[in-house]
Amino acid sequence: MPWSVRWVGGCGAQSQKQCKKSSFAFYQAVRDLLPVWFLEDMRTMEAFHWEDGGKVSVYSPSEALLYALVHDHQPYARHLLTKFPQSALAVPSQSFSCCQSAPHLAMAVRYNRVRVLFRILKAVQALPPGDRAAHLDRQGCSRVEGGKTALHMACELVRPECLLLLLGHGAAPCLRDSAGNTPLDTLLQQISHMPAANMRAKLLCLDCLFFFVPQDLKFAMKQQLLDNRQQWQDLLGENRFQCLVGLAPPSLFVGAMRVLIRTISPEHFPEALDNLPLPHFLKPLDLKLES
């Protein structure tokens, strides 16, 4: 709860300076992975924000979770999501972030925090359907993030574990960013970068997308694939290329996986992957995550 700046010293400049010191001290404490009880005492007893109108306030659970994500403080993230399941995923204050939407999923993908992402997705599943979709399909501001969703970011940064978790928990695979690109377009742009690097992970991301996108998906780069057929066949392999541009149906494996994965509810993803009637080497990813 905000309080008057006079409470912390009476001088606006001094209060602003104290807020900056407290904020940096909290940043260091999370970075150093200090105990949860210490961080929560610090968060609820210190002033971190300088608000309009001469007010200061503490960090919210949502803002604390962003710090936990950046520094991979998994016990603190678990505590915040367990004790504050809704407010930990709320929109940060304007003094903390200029983008007025909850960026936690995108932040987890950016820093490749797979385990914390998993916990966030489980917390999102407990929200009402409308709020759930707003989190899963949240598009970043066009000025800073180009309207990208967390799925776009997983494709851009080539994060196969993050990509599969998002898809399995219901993230929409066909949304377009500010440039009109679907996540598939974003991934194909990464695959086309020369020299080819990290190609195994890129193709793994592509295979994961195949399991969730509709067969008739319209994507911006389709004509480019057709115009440079040999180049893309070399990059993707003939079967993937033919399927992508609609010259051949999906393989039996892809068709079977699409059917099987649809039988798994988000509440049981990815644990239920272990129960699929497939040999281990045919399963898309080995995600061993604690609930």
DSSP string, 225-265: HHHTHHHHHHHH-HHHHHHHTTSSPPPHHHHHHHHHHHTS-
Domain parsing of the chain, residue ranges: 60-282
pLDDT tens string 138-188 = 988 777 778 899 999 999 999 999 999 999 999 999 999 999 999 999 999
Length of the chain: 291
The identity of residue 262, as a single letter, is R
- Give the predicted TM-score (pTM) of the model: 0.88
Start-to-end Cα distance in the chain:
33
pLDDT tens string 228-244 = 999 999 999 999 999 99
C-alpha–C-alpha distance, residues 16 and 10, integer Å = 11
Tokens of 250: 């999906």
C-alpha–C-alpha distance, residues 249 and 286, integer Å = 27
Quick one: CATH architecture of 60-282?
Alpha Horseshoe (1.25)
Any idea which of 82-91, 236-245, 273-282 has the lowest mean pLDDT?
273-282
Q: What is the pLDDT of residue 36?
A: 98
